[in-house]
Amino acid sequence: MTSAVIHADIDHVGIAGRNMDELLRAYRRLGFKTTRPEPLMGVDAAGGAVPLGQVSAHFMFEDSYVELSAVTGEKPDNHLEPYLARYEGLHILALAARDASKAHDRLAAAGLTPGPVQGATRDIRYGKSGRARFSWFGFAPGAFPEAFVCVVEQCTPEVVFQGELTGHPNGAVDLLGVYMVARDHAAAMARYRPFEDSSAHRFIDVMDTQEAVRRFPDMAVPAGGDCLIGMKISVRDLGVLKRCLAEASVPYVEQAGEILVSSSEAGGSIIIFSE
């Protein structure tokens, strides 16, 4: 059984599925306040908006968020399709960059295979509404078999991160990290070493299947090797969380001072809550 943690600056993670209504229903039932779904748009060479074949909603924290993304099917080559062919669940891992172009060059020099830097936008209809802009890049197909891994520069953080949506009924306050299962643990650790940042408070916990089953014995772990299986979220008060889950009839497991919710209740991702 093998497990090791890399600290990294995670911008956000994402749950991918086919049905936005089901994703919203699941996460609102868990006590998260979500944004209204909006189409995710790319930017073409002329600066025009191009549909990406996704509708996304979010639940927000002070400087990160969890994306709920429904792939709508009108763009067959959508970057999430290969992952959805396996199962619906936690398929997006976005690392943060202050400057996407500089991060691109640094990661290429470190031996990774970043794709071109692209632009993306989405409309913000909460607080001081506006248009959020992002610069981002992904990696060559197969470079990260466990998820769609990308690097994101928030060009308009003042538009995205507004306090209006950070007061969740379940008391959630922050995204702490993600849990990954890898068939080749050493290779997976090597993939993420270029992102390592000892000053970051978020983590990527890489483990083999045996360790995942040992650590989360009552949770369903996807078969087939490389995958993201869950995320850790901090809350102000586990008592408030437990009351919120009980009122919504959401089953949970108490383990080692944490609350675990099964992937079947959370769009395909295990959630580990801690104070």
pLDDT one digit per residue (tens) for the chain, 275 residues: 688 999 999 999 999 999 999 999 999 999 999 999 988 777 677 777 777 788 999 999 999 999 999 998 777 788 898 999 999 999 999 999 999 999 999 999 999 999 999 988 888 888 888 889 999 999 998 999 999 999 999 999 999 998 888 999 999 999 999 999 999 999 999 999 999 999 999 999 999 999 999 999 878 777 667 999 999 999 999 999 999 999 999 999 999 999 999 999 999 999 999 99
Q: Looking at residue 270, what is its pLDDT?
A: 97
Sequential DSSP letters for the chain: --EEEEEB-EEEEEEEES-HHHHHHHHHHTT---PPPEEEEEE-TTS-EEEEEEEEEEEE-SS-EEEEEEE-SS-TT-TTHHHHTT-SEEEEEEEE-S-HHHHHHHHHHTT--B---EEEEEEE-SSS-EEEEEEEE-B-TTSSTTSEEEEEEES-HHHH--GGG---TT-EEEEEEEEEE-SSHHHHHHHHGGGB-TT-S-EEEEE-HHHHHHHSTTS---SSS-EEEEEEEEES-HHHHHHHHHHTT---EEETTEEEE-GGGTTT-EEEEE-
CATH code: domain 167-274 is 3.10.180.10
Please give the model's pTM, rounded to 2 decimal places.
0.94
Q: Looking at residue 70, what is its pLDDT?
A: 96
Q: What's the topology of domain 10-164?
A: 2,3-Dihydroxybiphenyl 1,2-Dioxygenase; domain 1 (3.10.180)
Q: Looking at residue 79, what is its pLDDT?
A: 85
Domain with CATH 3.10.180.10 in the chain: 10-164, 167-274
